[in-house]
Amino acid sequence: MAYPLFSLEGKRALITGSSQGIGFALAKGLAEHGAEIIVNGRDAEKVDAAVAELDAAGHNAHAAAFDVTHLESVKEGIDTIEANIGSIDILFNNAGMQFRAPLEDFPEDKWQLLLQTNISSVFYAGQSVAKHMIKRGRGKIINIASVQSELARPSIAPYTATKGAVRNLTRGMCTDWAKYGLQINAIAPGYFKTPLNQALIDNPEFSGWLEKRTPAGRWGNVEELVGAAVFLASEASSFVNGQTIHVDGGITASV
């Protein structure tokens, strides 16, 4: 029976930015495969609400509200989890943001915020968790990249830059940490129905363009990311390292 390869029973997963959207879908999906979940976000009320929803569904979940864009907050948050909840077996670096503006007019403060949220947080959380994982000789780190790790569209060049950096940081983490028994990979979602994309979802012109541009002919649903997430979080991917898996309906495969 192949199922045990994909079981997450006895594993504990921290998912950054998981009070809503893709992060919460991943939390539910991992929980359904047996993982104990640690929900993270900056808004404690949203985090608590997400934990309550997971608890109500019969899952084992904990709240960990801290800001992944600040190194000291991350260090303190990770150490508190390790000491009071237990070892982190799986880390999903999911926290991210988007801001759209013409590149020639892109505000410097938004540039800095994108860097902190989309790439610095991956480094901060990845490094802090890896220090514990290295001591144990095992661990899974999955970074959320994007089709924008490969592609570009008008008005989002800084976002594209940060997601390209996530892909290469994934490779770098693998190169440094695989020798300690860690597997570090990334998932690159295409266009999914999330709060981050609501303005685009509500735009008939953009949605029409996307459906024609994507071979699958539609937006993705966040639940469709769970399969790749479980694969990378489980023993099924024990020799997969430094890779980025695109879950995008074929958009990066087609011109």
Which among 3, 159, 180, 191 is annotated as catalytic? 159
Question: With helix as H, strand as E and coil as C, how does the chain read?
Answer: CCHHHHCCCCCEEEECCCCCHHHHHHHHHHHHCCCEEEEEECCHHHHHHHHHHHHHCCCCEEEEECCCCCHHHHHHHHHHHHHHCCCCCEEEECCCCCCCCCHHHCCHHHHHHHHHHHHHHHHHHHHHHHHHHHHHCCEEEEEECCHHHCCCCCCCHHHHHHHHHHHHHHHHHHHHHHHHCEEEEEEEECCECCHHHHHHHCCHHHHHHHHHHCCCCCCECHHHHHHHHHHHHCHHHCCCCCCEEEECCCHHHCC
Q: In the beta sheet, which residues pair with residue 91?
A: 14, 141
159 is catalytic: yes
Amino acid at 226: V
Q: In the beta sheet, which residues pair with residue 141?
A: 91, 184
* Terminal-residue alpha carbon distance, the chain: 40
- Which token pair is 123? 């480094």
- Phi/psi for 143 (5° steps) reads -100, 140
Q: 15: how many CB neighbours lie within 10 A of its CB?
A: 30
Q: Which are the catalytic amino acids?
A: 159
